[in-house]
């Protein structure tokens, strides 16, 4: 859901890194996670992660906030905003952006603060046009890199541009991934105005999945207003797994309400 070339140029200009993207097999070894820290983190997690909390979306007005294409230069600020309000979201990350996040600080923080990570491919191509081998690479290598950096295995994915077919679904199933689309599109990549983004996102009803991008500064700026509106309406921002009350089923497609 973005203009690929423009977004890439903006990311480079914004300081996401002038270093070339490094293939995971060629990347420098990541600093190991302290075993005791990892053990405590995993102990608090549901089977398959993310971290559990008592949320019953059968009785609450839950809305799943999702952010694509990161981690990027504004992800840290977004995490600050969510932590201050004790809110959680799902981050659909790109493998190449995780590789560019030296030390994996952002993706580790996403996990540590109870958010959910999802696979958004390695480099954001339309998956439907790829041969089987390249399609497999896009999902598998992103999964492997994130697991190596964070110690957790992603269970959900979002196909770039929402482009999917039976081959994409089948590959997602093989990788243990459920396919997550959306019911509310903020079009934040096209209309980078915080007030517009917040207004579109705040139209979400209970059960909705909201699509946004944490690589846009204006989207992060829209989040405080969005959270205020959702709170006034009695809505609770949740992760994808919390919205459905369980880890979504691999190979199944979820679109929200």
Active site residues: 68, 213
Q: What is the 3-class SS of 202-225, one letter each residue?
A: CCCCCCCEEEEECCCHHHHHHHHH
The angle at the Cα of 119, spanning 54 to 61, to the nearest 5 degrees, equals 30
φ, ψ of residue 67 in degrees (nearest 5): -130, 125
Alpha-carbon gap, residue 128 to 244, rounded angstroms: 27
Under a CB-based contact definition with an 8 Å cutoff, are residues 129 and 168 in contact? no
Under a CB-based contact definition with an 8 Å cutoff, are residues 181 and 209 in contact? yes
* Closest to 109 measured CA to CA, from 170, 41, 176, 62: 41
Alpha-carbon gap, residue 40 to 57, rounded angstroms: 27
Under a CB-based contact definition with an 8 Å cutoff, are residues 98 and 120 in contact? no
b/e 219-234 (16+ beta carbons within 10 angstroms → b)? bbbbbebbbebbeeee
Under a CB-based contact definition with an 8 Å cutoff, are residues 52 and 242 in contact? no
Alpha-carbon gap, residue 158 to 217, rounded angstroms: 21
Neighbours of 113 (CB within 10 A): 15
């Amino acid at each position: 859901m973005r203009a690929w070339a423009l977004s890439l140029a903006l990311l480079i200009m914004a300081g996401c890194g002038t270093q070339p993207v490094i293939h995971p097999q060629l990347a420098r070894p990541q600093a190991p996670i302290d075993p005791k820290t990892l053990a405590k983190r995993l102990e608090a997690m549901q089977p398959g992660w993310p971290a559990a909390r008592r949320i019953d979306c059968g009785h609450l007005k839950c809305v799943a906030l999702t952010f694509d294409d990161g981690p990027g230069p504004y992800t840290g600020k977004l995490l600050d905003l969510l932590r201050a309000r004790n809110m959680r979201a799902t981050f659909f990350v790109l493998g190449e952006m995780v590789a560019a996040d030296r030390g994996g600080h952002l993706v580790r923080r996403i996990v540590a603060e109870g958010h959910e990570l999802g696979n958004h491919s390695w480099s954001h191509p339309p998956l439907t046009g790829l041969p089987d081998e390249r399609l497999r690479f896009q999902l598998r290598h992103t999964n492997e890199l994130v697991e190596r950096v964070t110690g957790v295995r992603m269970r959900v994915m979002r196909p770039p541009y929402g482009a999917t077919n039976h081959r994409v679904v089948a590959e997602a199933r093989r990788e243990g991934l459920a396919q997550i689309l959306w019911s509310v599109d903020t079009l934040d990549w096209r209309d980078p105005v915080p007030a517009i983004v917040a207004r579109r996102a705040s139209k979400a009803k209970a059960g909705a999945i909201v699509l946004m991008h944490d690589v846009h500064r204006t989207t992060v700026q829209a989040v405080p207003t969005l959270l205020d509106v959702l709170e006034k309406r009695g809505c609770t921002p949740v992760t994808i797994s919390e919205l459905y009350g369980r880890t979504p089923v691999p190979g199944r497609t979820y679109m929200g309400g």
